[in-house]
Amino acid sequence: MDRKEIRDAMFPECPVRNVLSRMMDKWTLLVLYTLEGQGTLRFNDLMRAIPDVSQKMLTVTLKSMEADGLVSRKVIPAVPVKVEYTLTERALTVMPLLDRLLSWSLENFSGIMADRQKHAKE
C-alpha cells in the first residue's frame, strides 16, 4: 500500500480501506505496542525495541502514524537533534481493542497453527 495515499481511490469513504488497513500493518502495530509498554521513546530506542524493523521502514511508519494522529513527535534541540515519540490520546483509545485482539491471537494460536498444518497436507 502506498503510505502517501490519503484515500483509497475506488472506495474513498470506506473506513477499513482508509483507516484500519494502514493502522493494522505489522510495523504500526509493533510501534503502538512498544510505545504503550514503554512510554515516550526516541527513534533509536524504538529501533532497538523492534529489532527486525529497518530504519527506513520505521521512519515511514512513524510519519504515517503522525499523519494519522496516532503518535506525537517532539523535536528536542540538541546536537545531534533528538526526537521523541509518544502515543496520542487517539492511539490510547484503540489500545484496549488491540489488547483484546492480541489476547485472542494468543488464545487461538495453537489451534490455528494445527488447522494450517492439516490444510497444508490436503
Give the separation between CA 31 and CA 71, rounded to whole angstroms.
9
| Residue 60, pLDDT score | 95
With 0-12 / 13-18 / 19 or more C-beta atoms within 10 angstroms meaning exposed / middle / buried, residue 75 is exposed
| Residue 14, pLDDT score | 82
pTM for the model: 0.81
| Residue 8, pLDDT score | 65
| Residue 84, pLDDT score | 96
| Residue 23, pLDDT score | 84
pLDDT per residue as tens, the chain (122 positions): 445 556 666 777 887 777 888 888 889 999 999 999 999 999 999 999 999 999 999 999 999 999 999 999 999 999 988 999 999 999 999 999 999 998 999 999 999 999 999 999 88
Of residues 47, 24, 33, the one with CA closest to residue 92: 33
